[in-house]
Chains A and B, each alone.
Chain A
Amino acid sequence: QQPVQSPQAVILREGEDAVINCSSSKALYSVHWYRQKHGEAPVFLMILLKGGEQKGHEKISASFNEKKQQSSLYLTASQLSYSGTYFCGTERTYGQNFVFGPGTRLSVLP
């Protein structure tokens, strides 16, 4: 079952912050985040396992709320290079049922 992402699209100015959410009506084992720039391959950002773990690198971090079955991706002080479509991918059980969400299109303007 495909997870839900919100918002569908967001436009930012350089330096602004953004939050992208990914949620499921079913219990999740893990949430994965990928970014795909226009005309390029999806690139892995991070994996979060159930347990409420928060991860991050540089100005991009994410959390996983197991009770709500929701993950949030935080982009801080956005840069032009952050533009692209962000996909979450969810896994309901260990090693099974991995599916991508519909994506959130992020545009960072100068």
Chain B
Amino acid sequence: DTEVTQTPKHLVMGMTNKKSLKCEQHMGHRAMYWYKQKAKKPPELMFVYSYEKLSINESVPSRFSPECPNSSLLNLHLHALQPEDSALYLCASSQVAWGENTGELFFGEGSRLTVL
């Protein structure tokens, strides 16, 4: 299984809602990532978990809260988001741990989030 699976594929939420994005990989990868991608822009790193521990938080607002329940799962909890947070949220995993030579990133197809 060489896939990274993300759910839901689409999400519409109001500014007062609480929702979560989920990501799963069964490749035994040591690091998992959340990226945010706006239209016609490159993916921007938000968080990195390495060996289930938060390694990188790229100054992301606290309305985004990551969680790594185990080595295969990664969640992104969303609360009190703003319309400018509307974007494609990509999950990725890599075989190597954070801090080692950045290897191939395996991306999921993303969750397209719209904040009203």
Residues of A near any B CB (own CB < 8 A): 2, 29-30, 32, 34, 40-44, 47, 87, 89, 91, 94-96, 98-103, 105
Contact = CB atoms under 8 A, between A and B. Distances in A.
Interface of B: 4, 40-45, 90, 96, 98-110
Contacts of A2: 42
Nearest to A46: B104
A37 B47 CA distance: 24
Contact of B105 (A40, A42, A95): A42
A43 B105 CA distance: 8
A47 B103 contact: yes
Given A32-B102, A89-B102, A91-B101, 6 more contacts: A32-B104, A32-B105, A41-B110, A98-B45, A98-B102, A105-B40
Contact of A95 (B40, B102, B104): B102
A87 B109 contact: no
Contacts of A30: 101-102
